Structure 1
Amino acid sequence: MIGSHPYLDFNDAEPQSELPGITDRAQEKEEIKTRLLGRVEEALRYLMPAGKVRHGQFHIGDVAGAPGESMKVELSGEKAGVWYDHAEGKGGDILDLWARSRGIDPVARFGDVMDEVRAWLGDPMRVATSSTPPRQKNDPPMDDLGPHTGKWDYFDADGQLLVCVYRYDPPGKKKQFRPWDVQSGKWQAPASHRPLYNLPGIAQADDVVLVEGEKTAQALVDIGITATTSMHGSNAPVEKTDWSPLRGKRLIIWPDRDKPGWEYAQSASKAMKAAGAKSISILIPPEDKPEKWDAADAVAEGMDIQSFLRNAQYAGPDGPKRRIRLRDWTFDRYLGPAPERRWLIDGVLPLGIPGMVAAIGGAGKSMLLMDLCAKVAQVESGSPMPMEALGGPLVSVPGTAVMFTAEDDADEVHRRLAGLVGALPDPSRLIVVPLPNAGGAIPLVAMGREGPVLTDAYEEMRAELLEIPDLRLVVIDPLQSFAGGDVNSDPAAGAMFFAGLGRLAAETGSTTLVAHHFRKVGMKPIHTAAEAREAIRGTTALVDGGRWSYALWEADSDEAEKVCEKLNRRYQRDSVYKGAVVKSNWPTDKTIRTYVREPSIGLLQERSIDLALRVEGNEDLSKSLAAAVGRAAANGQPFTKSGVSGLFERRSELPGDLQDYSKHRLTEIVESLLSSGGLVQCIAPGSRLKKWLDVPGGEFALGVGEFQLGSGPTEENVNG
């Protein structure tokens, strides 16, 4: 039973006349069925190329193999091979499905079904007795070539079966291909306008790979690449093939590595160009491959086909292919609504970008990044209480985080994780690779004869990461252990390193971060985010190469002591840090945060909100500043954090107890109020920047504030 529906099984078949030499037909049937179930997915792809595998089931439109979802076949367990078509209300086992997909009566022609399955499994064909029922109308007759050794179905774009191409390997003769025209019921290909293979797939794709032969095309289709071929491959009469379905498509022609293959690629490219293909590239097979090497061989070798297609050498129909074709990137490619920016940490750290986290040695950036990885791995969909990291909430999308650490061994990683996370909803979503236990450092960049290049180790890491379907975060710690070139002094090496990170981020869709060090700054303390950015070690190519940078710097001892006092903590050196986004290619929250080290595990924990309620040990100070900001905005003369209209520059308008504060201290109080929601930054009418300060619910906060003449902001400041 499937649910409440009975299904057919060959155990219900009428007794058949036995083939010579078979004494126990039931035993033979079970043996064949067992062997077929051992290759059930392969068999289904052979019978129904348009099917898709998802969640342990094979999905297809119907028993004829039309694209769709209404029919499902189990791929494993006790019900492996069992199918049910919900649209028709019918089902059965794998042998019944084989028969029906081939248009054969599963009861009256049981012997023919068994013969076909045996042939597909590679058994020698048995000769049936004269009692075999007559052939049905649209089935191809047996001929002198013996049983076919392969079969490929050609459908139209709507999934209607048009032609079946059979392969034969007669003993002592060359392989032969014969097309069976389903409509006419004859051994012949359509006289003209012969269809391309995999038309349903072509209709849904923008990029298509043309190869030689159905077997090769199906090898690519099976790994998720839209591929096609013309009937008879390189022997196809180009003028008789209907190339029109390739109009507007981007084409790659992957020829066999031989002279006929290259000649076919040239003639096919001209036909496709005439049919209106958007672009055509001819792949140049690698020189180290043997004669006749093709895409099916590449799949069998376990090659990363997507990577190979991206990095292979190409020629165009009229000569060598340029790396970038400008006509592929015209404005029409950007029409329609722009994609929304996706975030890993809402408003702080986007998804799918390369970046860095920098600090002095011993600050705790490795622990902070490991904590971020653990939190990414803990995220559950729709969580009402999102976890916080780096000053913002993690977006509630589950995914996998990977960290490569070159400085900590497995025991240290174990101790750190024990302090950070007790359990995960899915342990496989957190991967931490301690390189001291995994072969040592991995140089991702090396110096080649013409400058820095990405290494084979980089390609291996990239291939591993591409196999993780829900990857959201990759951390590489620290940069220097993964850069074979001198990235600190050589701008080209730094640029190449971040080009590699950018490629990983783009191809996997994950945020890719690297931990890096500050240069030695002597005795001069860091007070601002700009100073922290300047302190990042190496050439400007390192910061410029990444699209996002976060810096952590130690608070001076006086401020650190006050922070510990406000939090009722015992002051310890190296326990209080500041942190902020110091570089971003888009608007992000660049608030300066305060971090305090948790002594038990050594993790820097953000305490900005706690401190906002304890400024100078008295909430009245924050309330006094917020009230002054609100009054100024209500009078049409709002403050900004800095600049001509900044709080420090207009400190004479503040209450007396705030007028004596330094610019840095006033900025810190404002940042705390912004973090806690006591103040907001606004875009005022006529302004292009989100910089004006107001209290929540104020006129500028609501977008209706009007500037008034007086000692407040000038028109130049408003528009600047």
Structure 2
Amino acid sequence: MIGSHPYLDFNDAGPQSELPGITDRGQEKEEIKTRLLGRVEEALRYLMPAGKVRHGQFHIGDVAGAPGESMKVELSGEKAGVWYDHAEGKGGDILDLWARSRGIDPVTRFGDVMNEVRAWLGDPMRVTTSSAPSQRREPPMDDLGPHTGKWDYFDADGKLLVCVYRYDPPNRRKQFRPLDVRTGKWQAPTIQRPLYNLPGIAQADEVVLVEGEKTAQALIDIGITATTSMHGSNAPVEKTDWSPLRGKRLIIWPDRDKPGWEYGQSASKAMKAAGAKSIAILIPPAEKPEKWDAADAVAEGMDIQTFLRDAPRAAPNGPRRRIRLSDWTFDRYQGPAPERKWLIDGVLPLGVPGMVAAIGGAGKSMLLMDLCAKVAQVESGSPMPMEALGGPLVSVAGTAVMFTAEDDADEVHRRLAGLVGALPDPSRLIVVPLPNAGGAIPLVAMGREGPVLTDAYEEMRAELLEIPDLRLVVIDPLQSFAGGDVNSDPAAGAMFFARLGRIAAETGATTLVAHHFRKVGMKPIHTAAEAREAIRGTTALVDGGRWSYALWEADSDEAEKVCEKLNERYIREKVFKGAVVKSNWPTDKSIRTYVRDASTGLLGEKTMELAMGGKDFGDLLQILEQTIEKAAANGQPFTKTGGNGLHERRSELPAELLGVSRNKIVSMVDALLTTGRLVLCMAEGSTIKKWLDVPQGEFALGVGQFQLGSVLNEGE
């Protein structure tokens, strides 16, 4: 019994005389069954590749191997191998399951079941016969061996139509054997062949057509509606029923070979005739190997959604075109817009190319190395984010890579020793000193007809694509990596940043280059706009990147005042200003003040300390805690965000907190909540815990009363 449900067992089969061809049936059955149970999980994965193991049970949709949860198989104990399908109200033992999953009657064709199990266990093949009439015949197991893959074709309502088995016989090409479930014959349907994944197609607006069931299933497993025609590129399109694709947007993803392209062209004609809404053929990346397909892309960890969106496309039955206008109509942009992902919250997004520019000797290389070290130190979910370039780093763990053409390994070692003591995972910080690694790497060179990419670019790109959690790439300085004259040639600068943008898009990482201002003799800089104009090169160079940060030295009068407030000794090149001077989206562009650390040479941001009159971060946390405690005691508590949020009610904050950004306020509250210095409270009339108080405050104890002038709004 499984719970309260009875299950079937091969012992329910008829007497021995009803199963000819098997001698000493009971003894042999128990021997084979025992051996099969010794490898029960392996057997289940062989029969039903879509199944999953959880809590000592094998979960699958049904005996045919469809993905799902309604059927469970015990993996250990006295009930090992026992299965029950809750949707169908049926169950049985491991041999019964083997038979049903292979479409074999478990009673009248018991000998065939035993032969299959023996073959899988590695026993010599035994020829048996069955007196029961059969509408189908088994594939030539002795010739092809056991199948290495199995895919089921269902109709739109989930009824099994065809099972396709794959065989990989030694020293021979792979072969496929379809079983037409409706006729019981080992052949493809003779009238019209169904498409793979019809239940998924019925629910989707956009469908990806690939070659082969394995490739389609790889996309389906990551949530993309995919299909294929039976036998892939070898399928005669006229024998496939394409009608389920009527009104759908179709993307054809061919294998990277000639048969794949020809398959895409012929399939597109059939889909157009069936009434598809739109059809496009993706052009596989030129650098991929022959026969590369969507399953390879999934295995490589490629961002499939981005590839489907951005890959160049060809019009069906026409020349390959990079852009097809019908793919970019308004309906593509309907629904919730994707959230922007940040490396530094509110300041620097992920997945964009940009630059950090300053005069020579300002310390931009050290600042960028420090940023790399901080990215490598980040722990996912950390309540106390590290700060860089005027904002908090998003608490997602990842890898940072820096290529430096000016510092050798010894200098890198000395700099890192002053920046970071240890890392949670040392492999997450990669610093390549090019003087020790063969010298500068020109990624763009000047050819006879203008700038061209070099092999070094492709090598670097391939290396970076192999890092699964890449978040930041730094190239220092730009001039050592751009063989063309990027400062005077707009085309060279545009190509350089376009290729950085490609790496950013493919990896999801931010790519930054260090660059210089114009030569000494320029007029003093006082504003962010003047700093942008001072960046060396043509305007096309700055415009080529999507984000630029500039650092410039503060004038001596202001620098002396800054040092006096911070009780620091003033020296030349001690104080700098910095700001985002170019961005293609809303970012924090406020001007920050940086002061050079005497021991490490690192520029550290002091904007907040200066606003607080020199107080440190611990002092600021205490001020925030006291402000929240006082507001709650007065019956006017704050919330973290929303209408009663601290930043929204900043006019009520003390002077020390007025210059703190919204993101910084939120992160400080999170830090106080995590350490227990603050708690979230539910007040009378409230339905959620959102009001801030100290642990022993009136709202924390449940006795707090709102006073006139405060706002209680549950919709915040």
TM above 0.5, yes or no, is yes
Give matches, 1:643-658, under 5 Å. Answer: none
CA contact (8 A) 2:213 2:227 kept: yes
Corresponding residue for 1:432? 431
Q: Deviations over 1:25-77 (max 9, x none)?
A: 9999999999998x99xx94x744656899999975345322235679999xx
Are residue 363 (structure 1) and residue 362 (structure 2) matched? yes
- One-letter code aligned to 2:549: Y
Secondary structure of the residue aligned to 1:64 is: coil
TM norm structure 2: 0.67
- One-letter code aligned to 1:478: P
Q: Deviations over 1:235-291 (max 9, x none)?
A: 5443442213434233226279567x776544422110122334434578999999x
Q: Deviations over 1:486-544 (max 9, x none)?
A: 21221111111111122222333332221111221326332222222122111111111
Secondary structure of the residue aligned to 1:487 is: coil
Corresponding residue for 2:658? 677
Give matches, 1:456-605, under 5 Å. Answer: 456-522=455-521, 524-605=523-604
Q: Distance in 2 between matches of 1:331 and 1:547?
A: 25
Secondary structure of the residue aligned to 1:127 is: coil
Q: What are structure 2's unaligned runs of at least 5 residues?
A: 14-18, 615-653, 663-710, 712-716
The change in CA–CA distance for 1:489 and 1:183 in structure 2 (over 3 A counts) is: same
Task: Report the more deviating stretch, 521-530 or 491-500.
Answer: 521-530
Q: Distance in 1 between matches of 2:363 and 2:275?
A: 58
Shift of residue 116 of structure 1?
Answer: 4.2
Q: Deviations over 1:370-412 (max 9, x none)?
A: 2222323333455443322111222334443333333334443
The change in CA–CA distance for 1:319 and 1:134 in structure 2 (over 3 A counts) is: same
Give matches, 1:351-390, under 5 Å. Answer: 351-390=350-389
Secondary structure of the residue aligned to 1:565 is: helix
The change in CA–CA distance for 1:118 and 1:412 in structure 2 (over 3 A counts) is: farther
Give matches, 1:55-454, under 5 Å. Answer: 60-68=60-68, 101-102=101-102, 116=116, 126-129=125-128, 140-142=136-138, 146=142, 148=144, 150=147, 151-156=150-155, 160-166=159-165, 177-199=176-198, 202=201, 208=207, 210-214=209-213, 228-234=227-233, 236-247=235-246, 248-252=248-252, 254=254, 265-282=264-281, 294-295=291-292, 299=296, 315-454=314-453
CA contact (8 A) 1:597 1:603 kept: yes
Shift of residue 612 of structure 1?
Answer: 2.6
Shift of residue 345 of structure 1?
Answer: 2.1
Shift of residue 613 of structure 1?
Answer: 3.9
CA contact (8 A) 1:146 1:170 kept: no
Q: Distance in 2 between matches of 1:57 and 1:412?
A: 56
- One-letter code aligned to 1:481: S
Q: Distance in 2 between matches of 1:328 and 1:347?
A: 31
- One-letter code aligned to 2:548: S
Q: Distance in 2 between matches of 1:26 and 1:551?
A: 78
The change in CA–CA distance for 1:212 and 1:577 in structure 2 (over 3 A counts) is: closer
Q: Distance in 2 between matches of 1:674 and 1:529?
A: 25
The change in CA–CA distance for 1:388 and 1:487 in structure 2 (over 3 A counts) is: same
Q: Deviations over 1:272-317 (max 9, x none)?
A: 0122334434578999999xx74569959x9998799999987533
Shift of residue 327 of structure 1?
Answer: 1.5
Q: Distance in 1 between matches of 2:462 and 2:127?
A: 51
- One-letter code aligned to 2:658: G
The change in CA–CA distance for 1:13 and 1:141 in structure 2 (over 3 A counts) is: same
Give aligned-pair identity as a percent. 77
Q: Distance in 2 between matches of 1:446 and 1:99?
A: 65
Q: Distance in 1 between matches of 2:283 and 2:372?
A: 41
Shift of residue 679 of structure 1?
Answer: 9.8
Secondary structure of the residue aligned to 1:447 is: strand
The change in CA–CA distance for 1:454 and 1:386 in structure 2 (over 3 A counts) is: same
Q: Distance in 1 between matches of 2:398 and 2:195?
A: 39
Q: Deviations over 1:183-239 (max 9, x none)?
A: 343345445442112445656777655455546656877899865432244554434
Q: Distance in 2 between matches of 1:499 and 1:568?
A: 45
Q: Deviations over 1:5-37 (max 9, x none)?
A: xxx9x9x999x9999xxxx99999999999998
CA contact (8 A) 2:60 2:72 kept: yes
Q: Distance in 2 between matches of 1:262 and 1:36?
A: 42
- One-letter code aligned to 2:418: G
CA contact (8 A) 2:612 2:656 kept: no
Secondary structure of the residue aligned to 1:452 is: strand
Q: Distance in 2 between matches of 1:175 and 1:680?
A: 62
Shift of residue 446 of structure 1?
Answer: 3.1
The change in CA–CA distance for 1:552 and 1:91 in structure 2 (over 3 A counts) is: farther
- One-letter code aligned to 1:142: E
Corresponding residue for 2:622? none
Q: Distance in 1 between matches of 2:469 and 2:81?
A: 30
Task: Report the more deviating stretch, 262-271 or 387-396.
Answer: 262-271
- One-letter code aligned to 1:677: L
Secondary structure of the residue aligned to 2:356 is: strand
Q: Distance in 2 between matches of 1:477 and 1:168?
A: 53
Q: Distance in 2 between matches of 1:288 and 1:506?
A: 16
Shift of residue 120 of structure 1?
Answer: 7.2
Secondary structure of the residue aligned to 1:180 is: strand
Shift of residue 320 of structure 1?
Answer: 0.9
CA contact (8 A) 2:254 2:282 kept: yes
Report the RMSD for the aligned CA atoms in angstroms: 5.5
Q: Distance in 2 between matches of 1:364 and 1:318?
A: 56
Q: Distance in 1 between matches of 2:490 and 2:207?
A: 38
Q: Distance in 2 between matches of 1:455 and 1:93?
A: 62
Q: Deviations over 1:410-467 (max 9, x none)?
A: 4433433333233344444434344444454333323345433444433343344444
Q: Deviations over 1:522-579 (max 9, x none)?
A: 2633222222212211111111111111111122334333322221222333222111
Shift of residue 339 of structure 1?
Answer: 3.1
The change in CA–CA distance for 1:51 and 1:457 in structure 2 (over 3 A counts) is: farther
- One-letter code aligned to 1:322: R
Secondary structure of the residue aligned to 1:549 is: strand
CA contact (8 A) 2:219 2:294 kept: no
CA contact (8 A) 2:415 2:600 kept: yes
Secondary structure of the residue aligned to 2:431 is: strand
The change in CA–CA distance for 1:336 and 1:177 in structure 2 (over 3 A counts) is: closer
Shift of residue 606 of structure 1?
Answer: 0.6
The change in CA–CA distance for 1:104 and 1:377 in structure 2 (over 3 A counts) is: farther
Q: Distance in 1 between matches of 2:35 and 2:452?
A: 55
Secondary structure of the residue aligned to 2:589 is: coil
Shift of residue 593 of structure 1?
Answer: 1.3
Q: What are structure 1's unaligned runs of at least 5 residues?
A: 76-80, 616-672, 682-701, 703-720
The change in CA–CA distance for 1:205 and 1:125 in structure 2 (over 3 A counts) is: farther
CA contact (8 A) 2:40 2:81 kept: no
Q: Distance in 2 between matches of 1:73 and 1:409?
A: 60
CA contact (8 A) 1:145 1:170 kept: no
Corresponding residue for 1:707? none
Q: Distance in 1 between matches of 2:211 and 2:154?
A: 18
Secondary structure of the residue aligned to 2:446 is: strand
Q: Distance in 1 between matches of 2:56 and 2:563?
A: 56
- One-letter code aligned to 1:544: D
